Structure formats: C-alpha cells, structure tokens
Amino acid sequence: MKYLLFLFFIGYNLSVCAQKRTGPVPTSEQLEWHEMEFYLFIHFGPNTFTDVEWGTGKEDAKVFNPTALDCNQWVKIAKQAGAKGIILTAKHHDGFCLWPSNYSTHTVRESNWKKGRGNVVRELSIACENAGLKFGVYISPWDRNHPKYGTPQYNDVYVRTMTELLTNYGRIFELWWDGANGEGPNGKKQAYDFRRFEKMARTLSPRSVIFSDIGPDIRWVGNERGHAGETNWNLLDTAGFSRGIGAPPTDTLNRGNENGHQWIPAECDVSIRPGWFYHKREDSLVKTPAQLFDLYLKSVGRGANFLLNVPPDQRGLFHSADSASLMGFKRLLDENFKTNLLKNAVVELRNGKIKKTKKLTDGYTDTYESLPTATDPGISIELEKEIMLNTISLREYINVGQTVKKFTIRLLDKQNDLAREIQATTIGRKRILTFPGVKVKKITITILEAKAAVVISEIAAYNIDEGLVEK
C-alpha cells in the first residue's frame, strides 16, 4: 500500500511538472484535426442561383435547382487536390437547409430539385465516407428565414436542427459556427444560448471539433484572406469574450495569446474566388496554383490549418477553372516538397555535452528530441556536400504543448562563412520559412527564447521553385 501511495505521489508530481512545463495541450480530436492541414469548404445554396453573397431568407425555395449536382465530383476533385475533408454550408444565413429539416419550411424539400426529394447533406456525407474524406457542417446561427429567429424559442430550433445534422450523417469532424450574427434589415436580435449549443454538440458528437471566433476547439484566424500570424500561438484566452461582435480583436485571433489558458488553434478560411458563393463573373478570378501555394505557406506554414472554399456552380458541379487550379496546386505541393534535403541527416544537439540524433530527420512526426535552449548554437547539421536551399520547415511536438518564442537559423557555406541568417518567432505544429536560395554546407539553429523546455519532432529543408518563395 505504502509503495502504491509512493508511486501515486511520483506520478502525480510528474504530471504536475509536465503541466507546468508546457501549459495547455491539445485533445486527441484537436491533434487529429491539426494533422488534416488542408480541407475544403463548400458554400452552396439559393445564393448560388440568385447571385448574391447573403440571401435575405425570403427567396423562393424553388430557386434552388441544380441541373447536374454530383457530390462525387466534388469529392473526387477534393481528394485529388490532397484535401482531407469537406465542410458544407448545410444552412447559411438565409436559413435554407440543404437537407429536409423537420424544423424549417425553407429546405431542399420545398425546392423542385429532385422533385423535393433530394438531400445534399446526405449525398455529400456518403460521397465523403466512400472516398475516405472527413465531413463537417457549417450551421449558421444567424437565420434570416426562421419565424422564431429573435425569440428564445429559436435556441430550441437551433438545437434541434443541429441534432438532426449531428446524428444522421455519420461522423462530423467539425462543426462550424459563423461569427456573422448581424440583426439584418428586420432588426431582429437573437440572444444565442451558445452554452447550451455547445453542451448539446458535445453530448451528441463528442469527437467533433467546434469552430467559432473563440472555439471552444478551433478559432477563427481573424481574417478571410487565409493568413495566420507569423507569430501564431495555439493558445487563447476566451474569458470575457463572446462570438461575433464580442470576439477578441482580430490581431489577437490572428496570433493567439502567448500565455493563453486554452489550446484553441487557428483555422484559415479563405475562398478560391473573391466571393464565398459561385458567381459566373468570377470565373476569371479563380486563384492560381501559385497563389494557393502561397496561402498554404501562410496558413499551414505558420502552424494553422487551411480551409479553402470551392463553390459549386448552378449545375451543382465544381467549375473547370477551380478544379484546374486545385490540380495545379497539388502538383506544386508534390513537386516542391518531394525532396527533403535533410532526410536522415545527423543532427548534433549541444547541451554541455554533444548528442547525435536522427530522430529529427527520420520523417516520423512521433519521434522527437528535447532541445537545448541555453547554447548557441544548440543544434547543428553538417551536410555531406554544399547544396542550394531556400526553405526550412520545423515542427514542435505539440502533443506536449507549444513553447518556442524566438529562434534563429544560420546557414553556412563550405568556407564556414555565414550565407544567411533567419530569425523567427513561434514554431507550433509546423513552421515553414522560405528565403532567397543560398548554398549551404552547415545549418545551425539556436532557440533564443522559449516558455519552457522545447520539444521538436522534425527539421526539414527544401529547394522550392524560386518563384514560390514568400515575398
């Protein structure tokens, strides 16, 4: 018994120390989410047909009538583009439900599409499941159609609506709560019972991550351009803030809080076109593969996730301009990140004594090393021969938290002269740094400031197309 108590005491202290060392850590659902990196958003509904971004909720449901809707086409393109999932606007601000909800009279059932017997949510959830993609739903809290909107009963309606979606369509990986909850021209103001929504969502679908301006699981990045902060903490303090108008300042959402008390990482939502919904006039304004690659660097490369909106057209299909761009983007990712120039290189850690390791270059994200923080340089990698490179990518082992505040990388040529020095702040799940290329024989990294012990799982280097280096 005494022995058991002793073990309990040691165990307790170790876990307390671990907590003190790193602060908040992600849940297993958040970790799974972090590993998704890139997935698609789909804005589709009456707006696709009325050519607006925000419907009034007064549109005739009959305007919704895709002529050739094929969710398998969306899924096939998403998969080929390397996306790991799809989030659908099951209900946007106009209140129109892309499934025949029992709690609305403004749904696919009231449209002529498939004689009112269609269900986009069902079709897409099945297509995703068949293709091994994760499926998520956007359910706008703001509802410009529902007669109960603006009254306490609307909270009941919202909970019921959410229940339908969370219980009938397989696993929902992410539930998306939009921050836009304006009053609309009719002046109705809703007091949302988000506490109840959250409790209900947790009960019905404990494995879903919930997105909103302030989480609880995933936060908005503070802009719709797809840019996370160069300093990006996965931590946020939400006390005293609310969703929408009461959210923290956008630059706080963009960078997180260094000493935040909760693990709430950022998601970068951005559209492949200027608008969220399809507009024919934007066919020539689809982002190019190089622009998407740049967005990848500014989102995933700064430790956030990349949620790219691709809106189907009036046929109910992805337009060829969008799919061509997505294919080009995938090609750029594959070609440019194909060869890790540090694969299996020996890394020297200097912390009083020297330790040699390959754990940081083995390509496995679950092997890691604690890094020296008080030595300059603490880490060095000697390459077999001098090579040209313009990209370095690092990963913290975020299972135990995020701690790096500032670090410097020095690139030395074969004469051991400094060819380039790069300073950066946070690392987090992934930090990709690009710079004009130089010839390198030795790389050193020094952690200049950290909140606590630093644990790194990967260091990689690439020589990407010079034109793709961040400007």
Binding site for ligand FUL (CB under 6 A): 53, 178-180, 269, 276
Closest approach, Cβ 432 to ligand FUL, in A, equals 25
Q: Is 416 left (phi over 0), alpha (psi -120 to 50) or beta?
A: left
Q: Do residues 430 and 397 touch, judged by C-beta distance below 8 A?
A: no
SS3 at position 172: strand
CB atoms within 10 A of CB 7: 10
Closer Cβ to ligand FUL, 269 or 458, answer by number? 269
Q: How far apart are CA 134 and CA 35, in angstroms?
A: 12
Closest approach, Cβ 136 to ligand FUL, in A, equals 13
Closer Cβ to ligand FUL, 210 or 400, answer by number? 210
Closer Cβ to ligand FUL, 269 or 282, answer by number? 269
Closest approach, Cβ 460 to ligand FUL, in A, equals 32
Closer Cβ to ligand FUL, 180 or 245, answer by number? 180
State the residue for tokens 């951005």.
270
> Partners of 381 in the beta sheet?
347, 443
Q: How far apart are CA 128 and CA 273, in angstroms?
A: 23
Distances (CA, A) of 392 to 199, 356, 411, 423, 445: 42, 20, 10, 12, 11
Closest approach, Cβ 163 to ligand FUL, in A, equals 22
SS3 at position 334: helix
Where are the extended beta strands (E) located within 352-453?
353-357, 369-371, 379-396, 404-412, 418-424, 431-450
Closer Cβ to ligand FUL, 34 or 43, answer by number? 43
Closest approach, Cβ 161 to ligand FUL, in A, equals 17
Closer Cβ to ligand FUL, 51 or 376, answer by number? 51
H helix runs in 23-70, sequence order: 28-34, 46-50
CB atoms within 10 A of CB 81: 23
Helix axes 320-336, 289-299, angle to 10 degrees: 60
Closer Cβ to ligand FUL, 40 or 347, answer by number? 40
Closest approach, Cβ 279 to ligand FUL, in A, equals 13
Closest approach, Cβ 305 to ligand FUL, in A, equals 14
Closer Cβ to ligand FUL, 99 or 462, answer by number? 99
> Partners of 138 in the beta sheet?
89, 176
Residue of minimal Cβ distance to ligand FUL:
180
Closer Cβ to ligand FUL, 143 or 178, answer by number? 178
Closest approach, Cβ 39 to ligand FUL, in A, equals 14
CB contact set of 308 (below 8 Å; sequence gap of 6+): 38, 39, 40, 41, 83, 226, 270, 271, 272, 292, 295
Closer Cβ to ligand FUL, 17 or 180, answer by number? 180
Nearest CA-CA partner of 357 in 455, 463, 461, 462: 455
Closer Cβ to ligand FUL, 179 or 301, answer by number? 179
CB atoms within 10 A of CB 425: 20
Closer Cβ to ligand FUL, 142 or 169, answer by number? 142
Q: How far apart are CA 68 and CA 63, in angstroms?
A: 15
Closest approach, Cβ 357 to ligand FUL, in A, equals 43
Closest approach, Cβ 281 to ligand FUL, in A, equals 17
Q: How far apart are CA 44 and CA 331, in angstroms?
A: 27
To the nearest 10°, report the CA torsion of 276, 277, 282, 288: 50
Q: How far apart are CA 177 and CA 223, in angstroms?
A: 15
Q: How far apart are CA 385 and CA 407, in angstroms?
A: 25
Closest approach, Cβ 32 to ligand FUL, in A, equals 22
Closest approach, Cβ 47 to ligand FUL, in A, equals 8
Q: Do residues 43 and 89 touch, judged by C-beta distance below 8 A?
A: yes
